[in-house]
Amino acid sequence: MCSMRYKTSITSGPTESDRTIVGKSVTGLTALKCRYPEMFREARLTKQTYLKTGDVQFDGMFPGGGLPSGLLVELTGAASSGKTAVLFHLLAGYQYQYPLAYIDSSSTFFPLSAITAGIKVEQLLVVTTDSSCESVRIAENLFRLTPTRVIACDVTGRNDKLKMEQMHRLRIITTRYQGMVIFLTDSRYQLFPPSLISLQLTVTRCTRNSAIVTVTRSKISPEGKNTEMTLV
């Protein structure tokens, strides 16, 4: 199976409607489905489960030994904190059990780094865009049209704030399909309404090859819990 990368873009300006934007995403994903049908099995709704990375220390920070499905998670940190390496580590663990997708709105996805972390890029659906708002719409369509269970959404370096209604709709879709969306963000910007993020994890560089992941805002576990993770 070949690696897939699909780019979607929007035209700036007041003449572009939300319906047109959503239509572009749906049309693009439909075309991709025709080209790579093996990656688009029927998406089935399942009962709530705990999504586990296989990293005992990370999973152990949460009740149930993993993150409950249906969450919107923010993974944040300062520049060079190691947050991207931590994200890749988590995705490599999730990929053993769940179909993944990666939405890149920052043009920072490097396949070699993903491979080094253990991600099978030939089984990873990567979608690129240049808008945080479009990233949310794409995530909705991925849950509806593909078997994806875990979506990483890289919005680092962007400060175009997301609307409350957008995030609320995504949370409903994520819960319905029992998936999870991990937003990779820059700690300089607050993109999300705090009430709609179920879990915020902050990454702090410890040494060159390790970082501390701390629960800084949570509706599912005590805040302040942390674990040290080795980076590759």
CA distances (Å), origin 207, targets 12, 38, 91, 113: 42, 41, 22, 19
State the Cα–Cα distance between residues 146 and 128, nearest whole angstrom: 17
Instruction: Give the fold, CATH level 3, of 48-230.
Output: Rossmann fold (3.40.50)
CA distances (Å), origin 41, targets 36, 37, 80: 10, 7, 37
Give this prediction's pTM.
Answer: 0.80
Sort residue 56 into left (φ over 0), alpha (ψ -120 to 50) or beta.
alpha
What is the pLDDT confidence band of residue 49, given thresholds at 50, 70 and 90?
confident
Extents of the domains making up the chain: 48-230
Structure token digits, residue 21? 């934007």
For residue 83, pLDDT beyond 70: yes
pLDDT digits (tens, 9 = 90+) for 190-228: 777 777 788 999 999 999 899 999 999 998 889 999 999
Helix (H) or strand (E) holding 174: helix 164-176
State the Cα–Cα distance between residues 228 and 31, nearest whole angstrom: 42
Write down the pLDDT at residue 224: 95
